[in-house]
C-alpha cells in the first residue's frame, strides 16, 4: 500500500479529474436532443467516475455514477427527447458534484442525505426510463459502434493510464511503482470486462497476480509490463482482438517459450514494435505512445514472381500524437507568475546598470584623455621654464642642449604618469570588451526571459469554453422555469484567456446573460407578433483584437428603452436639460451607474436592484472596459475588452505634477505636443480640437493635486520628450486628452496590486517596480472618463504649494571638500552643483545655471574667492544671490575683505554643520 500522504494525494487528484468528467456529462446531456452521438462520451465519463471512485474508496460516488451509467445505457439504445428526463439527469449530475465536494472535505454522505437528495431523482429517472436490459448491454457493444467505443476508450482512458505509469517509471527512485501498477491492473481489468475483451481482462488479472508475488523484481519488469500493455493497446486499436495475450510474459516464461512459434496472425511478434511504430519501452527514456506512428501502414515486402500481391487492406488515417499533460495547483502558477515578474524587474535593473556602466566608461575615457593632455602640458611647460638652467659645462660631455637630452626627477615622474595612463587605457579596453560580452549576455537573457514569459503566459491560459460551458445549463433551466424558449450560441470556445481573468469574468458574464434572458428576449407571443422567430437567441463570443481579448454578449430581443432610461435618470436627479437633448447613445452608459435600474420590480432572475454597476466594477479590477450598442426592437450587444494578460504590460513612463506615472500603451491612441493643440474654454469645460473632434482636456495636476512639496522627476538619462505632451486615450467612440509634463521612456513591466485599508486615489489602479527599485503608480485612463463627466474645476491649476528644490553651488579646489559638502547639503534636501575653482563657477553661472546660494573657498587657482565675489555681481540673475565663504583662513583681515566685497556669511574650517545649514536656510529665505 502507498504511504498515507501519497494515497491521499492520489485520491484528491482523482476528485479533481472527476470535475472534467462532470463537465463532459453536463454538456453532453444538454446536446442529447440534437446530437444523439454524444451519449458515447457521456457513458465513458460516467464509467470512468464509477471505476475510479471504487478504486479510491469513494463508494457513494461510485454507486451514484453506476446508477447514472445504467440510465445512459438505456438512452444509448432507446433515445428519449423528454425535457423532464434531461432536467432529472442534470439534477443527478449536480448530486454527483455534491458528493465530490463532500469527499473533498473528507465527509461521507449519510443515509439521510442520500434518501432525501439522491433517491427521489433516481426513482423518478427509473420510472421514466426503467432499468437497462440485456438488449441494452448488447446494443452498447454491437457492430461498428462497439468497436469504435473500444478504440476511443483505448485511445483516451488507456492512454492516460499508461502515460501516468510511464511518468512514474521515469521518476528517479520510481516511488509507488508497485501500487500504481496494481491500481492500473484492476482498472484495466474492469475495462476489459465492460468492453467484452476477455483475453485482455485475463491478461490484466495475470499482471495483478504477478504483482502480488513477494519476490517480484520491478526494476526491469515494470517497463516490460507497460510495454506489453502498449502492445495490447495497439492490437485493440488495429482491430486484431484475437491476437490479444492472456498472460503476462515475465523473464521466466520468456525463457521457457523462446522456441515456440511467435507468429501472431500475419504480424510477426519480433517485428511488432517496428511495424506498429511503438518505441522500445525497456530503456529509461520511455516516450509517449504515438498513435500516429501506430496507424502508419507497414511497407509490404517486394512481390516475387511466384507469389501474388495480397489485397491492400484500407488503413485508418494517421492521427496526431497525444501530448502528456500534468495538473498543477493554481497557487503554484500564481507563485511562478510572481517570480516571472521579479525576473522581469531584475532584467530591467540589469539593463539600467549596463547603461550606467556605459556612461561611467565614457566618463573615464574623457578623464584619461584630459589627464594625458594635462601631463603633456605640464612636461612642455616645465621644459620651457627649466631650459635656461639645464646648461652645465661640467656635465654636458661636449654636447649642447640640442645634441643631448637631459632628464630630471620631473621628467621621470611625467614618464611614470604617462605609463600609468597607458596601463589605464589598456584596462579600459578590457572593460569595453567585458562590457560588450555583458551586453551580449544581457540581450540573450532578455530574449530568453521574454520567451519564458510568453510560454508561461500560455500555461496560465484556459479556453473560453471553461467559462462559457456553464451557461447552456443555465439557459436550459431558465427556459424550462420561465417558459421562454431561448437558444444560446457560443463562438470562440477555443480562445485562450488568462485564468485570473476568467475567474473575474464569471460574475459579470453571468449577470449579462441573465439580464439578456430576462430583459432582452421577449416572450414567444410578442416575438411572433413582431415577425421574429418564437425562440430568442443569445450569442456569447470571444475573439482576439490586437493585444486584447474581446468578449461580446448579444441578444436579438427588444433592445434598451431610452425613455425608461430617461425616466429613471430624472428620478435620480440628473440634469433635465441634458436628458432632453442627450442622444440614445449618450444614455446607454447610465445603466452602469450605481443604483440605476429600469426594472419595474425586483426579481430573483436579474433585477437585484443594484443595476449593472457591479459588471463595470469587476471589469475595472482587470483593467477591462465595457461598451453598449443597442437598437430598439432588434437587440443589444455588450462588448467587453480586456488585456491579453494581466501579469506583464508595456507602459509609457510620464511625469505629471512631480510624479512619475506608468500608462499602459494599449490604452493610448496617440501622443502629441501640447503647444500644437491650444485649449478651448467653452461652457465651463476645457477642450481641444483633435482630428476635427472636440474632446475633453484633463490636466493631471487637477487630479493629483496633493498638498505636498514636489520636485521635477530625476531619472537616468534624458526624457524622450522634454516638454508638455498630450496623451490621447479612447473608450469606444469617446476620447479625451491627458496633459503630462514630460515623457520619459517606454518599458515592459510587471504589475503589482497595492493592498491596504486606504483606497488608491482616483485614476490609479496599481503600481509597478522599475529596474532601479523605484515604485511607480499605474494610471488607469478609463477611470478618468468617469471623472471627466463629473463636476470638476475647470480653471487652470497652479503649481503645488511647495517651491521647487533649492540649488546650492559649492566652489572649492579640493575634491574631497566638495564631496563632503555635497553629501551634507543633499541630506538636508538641497540640490548641489560643484565647481573646482572660481573661474568654473563664474562660467557656469554665466552659462545660465540657476542657483539659490553659493558656498565658496578663498584660495583657489585661476580665480580665487575674492574674485568670485567681485564678478558674481556683474551677472544680472546673481546680483542678490547670497555667497557664503568657507575657508581655512581665520584671520580678521580675510574676513573683513570678504564682507566688504559682499559675502553674506563667513565660516572657517572646520565648521559646525548645524550652524552652516541654519545660516544657509536663513539666507535663502530672505534672498
> What are the cell numbers at 426?
589598456
The predicted pLDDT at position 281 comes to: 35
557-585, pLDDT tens digit by residue? 988 888 888 888 888 777 777 777 777 78
| DSSP-derived 3-state class of residue 259 | coil
| CA neighbor of 636 nearest in space, from 524, 553, 535 | 553
Does the structure show a pLDDT above 50 at 260? Answer: no
The predicted pLDDT at position 408 comes to: 63
The predicted pLDDT at position 805 comes to: 74
The predicted pLDDT at position 917 comes to: 92
More confident residue, 892 or 733: 892
Does the structure show a pLDDT above 60 at 305? Answer: no
Does the structure show a pLDDT above 80 at 697? Answer: yes
At 265, the pLDDT band (50, 70, 90 cuts) reads: very low
The whole-number average pLDDT for the span 777-782 is 82
Does the structure show a pLDDT above 70 at 637? Answer: yes
0.85 surpassed by pTM: no
More confident residue, 781 or 867: 867
| DSSP-derived 3-state class of residue 737 | strand
Does the structure show a pLDDT above 70 at 168? Answer: yes
| DSSP-derived 3-state class of residue 53 | helix
Task: State which H helix or E strand residue 369 sits in.
Answer: helix 330-386
DSSP string, 500-516: HHHHHHHHHHHHHHHHI
The predicted pLDDT at position 638 comes to: 92
26-44, pLDDT tens digit by residue? 888 888 877 777 888 888 8
Q: Which residues pair with 854 in a beta bridge?
A: 809, 883
The predicted pLDDT at position 344 comes to: 80
Task: State which H helix or E strand residue 767 sits in.
Answer: strand 764-769
Q: Chain-wide mean pLDDT for the chain?
A: 78
| DSSP-derived 3-state class of residue 600 | coil
The whole-number average pLDDT for the span 693-719 is 76
The whole-number average pLDDT for the span 656-679 is 86
- CB within 8 Å of 371: residues ≥ 6 apart: 417, 421
The whole-number average pLDDT for the span 631-645 is 86
- CB within 8 Å of 222: residues ≥ 6 apart: 169, 174, 177, 181
Q: Using CA atoms, how far apart are residues 69 and 525, in angstroms rounded to an integer?
A: 40
| CA neighbor of 767 nearest in space, from 755, 781, 753, 780 | 753
The whole-number average pLDDT for the span 387-416 is 56
Does the structure show a pLDDT above 90 at 147? Answer: no
| DSSP-derived 3-state class of residue 650 | strand
Q: Is the peptide bond before 104 cis (omega within 30 degrees of 0)?
A: no
228-237, pLDDT tens digit by residue? 998 898 888 8
- CB within 8 Å of 319: residues ≥ 6 apart: 291, 292, 295
The predicted pLDDT at position 720 comes to: 87
313-326, pLDDT tens digit by residue? 444 444 455 555 66
Are 860 and 837 contacting, i.e. CB atoms less than 8 angstroms apart?
Answer: yes
The predicted pLDDT at position 589 comes to: 80
Are 326 and 171 contacting, i.e. CB atoms less than 8 angstroms apart?
Answer: no
Task: Give the rounded percent of residues in the chain with a pLDDT score beyond 90.
Answer: 8
Whole-angstrom CA distances from 38 to 27, 42, 43, 447 are: 9, 6, 9, 45
The predicted pLDDT at position 919 comes to: 92
The whole-number average pLDDT for the span 216-224 is 79
Bridging pattern class, strands 853-856 and 807-811? parallel
The predicted pLDDT at position 795 comes to: 41
Task: Give the rounded percent of residues in the chain with a pLDDT score beyond 70.
Answer: 79
Does the structure show a pLDDT above 80 at 86? Answer: yes
Does the structure show a pLDDT above 50 at 301? Answer: no
Are 555 and 536 contacting, i.e. CB atoms less than 8 angstroms apart?
Answer: yes
CA 62 to chain centre: 39
The whole-number average pLDDT for the span 232-250 is 85
Q: Which residues pair with 552 in a beta bridge?
A: 541, 639
Does the structure show a pLDDT above 80 at 488? Answer: yes
Q: Within 13 Å, how many C-alpha atoms sit on residue 653's CB side?
A: 22
Q: Using CA atoms, how far apart are residues 395 and 39, in angstroms rounded to an integer?
A: 118
Q: Which residue has the cell 508561461?
A: 456
Signed CA dihedral, 275, 280, 281, 282: sign only: positive
* 193-202, 293-302, 803-812: least confidently modelled range: 293-302
Which strands form 831-835's sheet, in the order they lie side by side?
A: 831-835, 807-811, 853-856, 883-887, 905-908
Neighbours of 893 (CB within 10 A): 8
Backbone region of residue 492 per phi and psi (left: phi > 0; alpha: psi in -120 to 50; beta: other values): left
Are 61 and 93 contacting, i.e. CB atoms less than 8 angstroms apart?
Answer: no
The whole-number average pLDDT for the span 270-288 is 37
> What are the cell numbers at 124?
423518478
443-460, pLDDT tens digit by residue? 888 888 888 877 887 788
Q: Which residues pair with 661 in a beta bridge?
A: 654
- CB within 8 Å of 713: residues ≥ 6 apart: 655, 658, 659, 660, 742, 744
Are 598 and 612 contacting, i.e. CB atoms less than 8 angstroms apart?
Answer: no
Q: Using CA atoms, how far apart are residues 421 and 379, in angstroms rounded to an integer?
A: 15
Q: Which residue has the cell 460516467?
A: 46
> What are the cell numbers at 559?
433592445
Are 556 and 634 contacting, i.e. CB atoms less than 8 angstroms apart?
Answer: yes
The predicted pLDDT at position 842 comes to: 92
| DSSP-derived 3-state class of residue 246 | coil
Are 733 and 775 contacting, i.e. CB atoms less than 8 angstroms apart?
Answer: no
Q: Which residues pair with 769 in a beta bridge?
A: 775
Whole-angstrom CA distances from 798 to 535, 657, 693, 712, 881 are: 61, 10, 28, 15, 26
At 299, the pLDDT band (50, 70, 90 cuts) reads: very low
537-549, pLDDT tens digit by residue? 999 999 887 677 8
Q: What angle do CA 244, 250, 254 make, to 5 degrees?
A: 85
The predicted pLDDT at position 601 comes to: 55
Q: Using CA atoms, how far apart are residues 164 and 187, in angstroms rounded to an integer?
A: 13
593-627, pLDDT tens digit by residue? 776 766 655 555 554 434 577 788 888 778 788 88
The predicted pLDDT at position 783 comes to: 72
Q: What interhelical angle do 177-194 and 198-212 show, nearest 10?
A: 160
Are 157 and 44 contacting, i.e. CB atoms less than 8 angstroms apart?
Answer: yes
- CB within 8 Å of 4: residues ≥ 6 apart: none
The predicted pLDDT at position 582 comes to: 78
More confident residue, 750 or 97: 97
More confident residue, 78 or 720: 720
Q: Using CA atoms, how far apart are residues 904 and 640, in angstroms rounded to an integer?
A: 67
Amino acid at each position: 500500500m502507498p504511504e498515507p500522504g501519497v494515497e491521499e494525494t492520489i485520491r484528491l487528484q482523482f476528485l479533481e479529474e472527476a470535475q472534467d468528467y462532470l463537465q463532459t456529462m453536463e454538456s453532453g446531456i444538454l446536446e442529447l436532443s440534437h446530437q444523439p452521438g454524444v451519449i458515447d462520451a457521456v457513458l465513458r465519463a460516467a464509467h470512468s467516475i464509477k471505476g475510479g471512485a471504487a478504486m479510491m474508496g469513494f463508494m457513494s460516488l461510485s454507486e451514484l455514477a453506476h446508477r447514472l451509467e445504467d440510465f445512459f445505457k438505456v438512452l444509448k439504445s432507446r433515445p428519449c427527447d423528454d425535457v423532464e428526463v434531461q432536467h432529472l439527469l442534470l439534477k443527478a449530475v449536480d448530486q454527483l458534484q455534491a458528493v465530490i465536494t463532500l469527499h473533498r472535505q473528507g465527509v461521507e454522505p449519510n443515509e439521510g442525505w442520500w434518501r432525501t437528495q439522491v433517491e427521489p431523482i433516481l426513482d423518478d429517472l427509473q420510472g421514466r426510463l426503467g432499468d437497462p436490459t440485456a438488449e441494452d448491454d448488447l446494443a452498447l457493444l454491437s457492430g461498428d459502434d462497439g468497436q469504435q467505443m473500444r478504440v476511443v476508450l483505448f485511445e483516451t482512458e488507456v492512454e492516460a493510464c499508461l502515460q501516468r505509469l510511464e511518468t512514474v517509471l521515469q521518476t528517479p527512485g520510481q516511488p509507488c511503482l508497485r501500487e500504481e501498477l496494481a491500481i492500473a491492473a484492476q482498472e484495466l481489468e474492469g475495462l476489459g470486462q465492460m468492453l467484452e475483451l476477455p483475453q485482455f481482462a485475463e491478461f490484466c488479472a495475470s499482471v495483478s497476480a504477478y504483482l502480488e508475488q513477494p519476490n517480484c523484481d520491478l526494476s526491469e519488469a515494470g517497463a516490460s509490463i507497460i510495454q506489453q500493455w502498449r502492445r495490447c493497446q495497439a492490437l485493440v486499436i488495429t482491430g486484431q482482438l484475437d491476437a490479444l495475450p492472456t498472460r503476462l510474459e515475465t523473464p521466466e516464461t520468456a525463457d521457457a517459450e523462446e522456441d515456440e512459434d511467435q507468429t501472431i496472425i500475419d504480424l510477426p511478434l519480433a517485428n511488432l514494435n517496428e511495424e506498429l511504430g511503438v518505441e522500445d519501452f525497456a530503456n529509461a527514456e520511455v516516450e509517449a505512445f504515438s498513435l500516429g506512428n501506430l496507424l502508419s501502414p507497414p511497407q509490404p515486402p517486394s512481390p516475387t514472381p511466384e507469389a501474388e500481391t495480397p489485397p491492400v487492406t484500407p488503413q485508418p488515417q494517421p492521427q496526431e500524437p497525444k501530448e502528456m499533460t500534468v495538473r498543477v495547483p493554481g497557487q503554484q502558477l500564481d507563485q511562478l507568475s510572481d517570480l516571472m515578474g521579479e525576473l522581469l524587474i531584475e532584467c530591467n535593473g540589469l539593463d539600467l546598470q549596463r547603461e550606467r556602466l556605459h556612461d561611467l566608461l565614457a566618463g573615464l575615457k574623457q578623464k584619461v584623455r584630459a589627464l594625458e593632455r594635462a601631463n603633456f602640458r605640464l612636461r612642455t611647460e616645465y621644459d620651457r621654464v627649466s631650459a635656461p638652467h639645464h646648461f652645465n659645462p661640467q656635465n654636458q660631455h661636449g654636447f649642447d642642449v640640442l645634441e643631448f637630452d637631459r632628464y630630471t626627477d620631473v621628467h621621470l615622474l611625467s614618464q611614470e604618469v604617462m605609463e600609468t595612463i597607458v596601463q589605464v587605457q589598456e584596462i579600459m579596453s578590457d572593460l569595453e570588451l567585458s562590457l560588450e560580452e555583458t551586453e551580449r549576455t544581457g540581450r540573450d537573457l532578455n530574449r530568453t526571459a521574454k520567451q519564458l514569459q510568453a510560454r508561461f503566459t500560455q500555461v496560465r491560459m484556459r479556453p473560453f469554453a471553461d467559462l462559457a460551458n456553464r451557461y447552456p445549463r443555465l439557459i436550459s433551466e431558465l427556459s424550462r422555469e420561465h417558459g421562454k424558449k431561448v437558444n444560446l450560441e457560443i463562438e470562440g470556445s477555443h480562445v485562450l484567456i488568462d485564468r485570473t481573468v476568467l475567474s473575474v469574468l464569471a460574475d459579470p458574464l453571468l449577470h449579462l446573460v441573465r439580464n439578456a434572458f430576462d430583459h432582452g428576449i421577449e416572450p414567444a407571443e410578442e416575438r411572433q407578433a413582431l415577425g421574429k422567430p418564437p425562440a430568442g437567441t443569445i450569442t456569447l463570443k470571444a475573439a482576439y483584437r490586437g493585444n486584447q481579448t474581446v468578449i461580446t454578449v448579444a441578444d436579438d430581443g427588444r433592445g434598451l428603452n431610452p425613455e425608461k432610461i430617461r425616466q429613471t435618470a430624472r428620478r435620480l436627479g440628473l440634469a433635465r436639460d441634458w436628458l432632453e437633448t442627450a442622444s440614445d447613445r449618450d444614455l446607454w452608459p447610465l445603466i452602469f451607474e450605481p443604483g440605476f435600474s429600469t426594472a419595474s420590480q425586483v426579481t430573483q432572475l436579474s433585477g437585484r436592484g443594484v443595476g449593472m454597476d457591479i459588471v463595470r466594477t469587476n471589469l475595472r479590477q482587470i483593467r477591462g472596459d465595457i461598451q453598449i450598442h443597442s437598437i430598439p426592437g432588434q437587440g443589444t450587444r455588450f462588448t467587453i475588452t480586456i488585456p491579453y494578460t494581466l501579469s506583464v504590460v508595456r507602459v509609457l513612463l510620464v511625469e505629471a505634477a512631480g510624479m512619475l506615472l506608468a500608462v499602459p500603451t494599449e490604452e493610448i491612441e496617440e501622443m502629441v505636443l501640447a503647444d500644437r493643440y491650444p485649449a478651448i474654454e467653452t461652457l465651463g469645460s476645457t477642450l481641444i480640437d483633435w482630428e476635427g473632434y472636440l474632446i475633453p482636456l484633463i490636466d493631471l495636476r487637477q487630479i493629483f493635486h496633493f498638498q505636498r512639496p514636489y520636485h521635477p522627476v530625476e531619472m537616468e538619462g534624458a526624457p524622450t520628450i522634454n516638454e508638455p505632451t498630450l496623451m490621447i486615450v479612447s473608450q469606444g467612440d469617446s476620447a479625451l486628452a491627458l496633459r503630462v509634463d514630460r515623457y520619459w521612456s517606454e518599458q515592459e513591466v510587471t504589475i503589482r496590486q497595492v493592498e491596504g485599508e486606504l483606497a488608491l486615489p482616483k485614476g490609479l489602479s496599481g503600481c509597478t517596480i522599475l529596474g532601479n527599485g523605484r515604485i511607480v503608480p499605474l494610471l488607469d485612463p478609463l477611470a478618468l472618463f468617469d471623472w471627466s463627466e463629473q463636476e470638476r474645476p475647470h480653471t487652470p491649476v497652479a503649481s503645488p504649494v511647495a517651491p521647487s528644490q533649492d540649488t546650492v553651488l559649492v566652489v572649492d579646489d579640493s575634491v574631497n571638500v566638495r564631496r563632503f559638502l555635497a553629501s551634507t547639503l543633499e541630506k538636508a534636501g538641497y540640490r548641489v552643483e560643484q565647481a573646482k575653482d572660481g573661474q568654473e563657477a563664474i562660467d557656469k553661472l554665466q552659462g545660465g545655471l540657476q542657483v539659490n546660494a553659493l558656498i565658496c573657498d578663498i584660495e583657489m587657482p585661476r580665480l580665487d574667492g575674492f574674485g568670485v565675489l567681485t564678478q558674481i555681481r556683474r551677472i544680472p540673475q546673481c546680483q542678490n544671490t547670497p555667497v557664503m565663504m568657507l575657508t581655512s583662513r581665520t584671520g580678521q583681515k580675510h574676513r573683513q575683505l570678504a564682507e566688504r566685497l559682499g559675502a553674506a556669511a563667513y565660516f572657517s574650517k572646520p565648521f559646525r554643520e548645524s550652524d552652516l545649514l541654519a545660516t544657509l536656510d536663513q539666507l535663502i529665505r530672505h534672498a
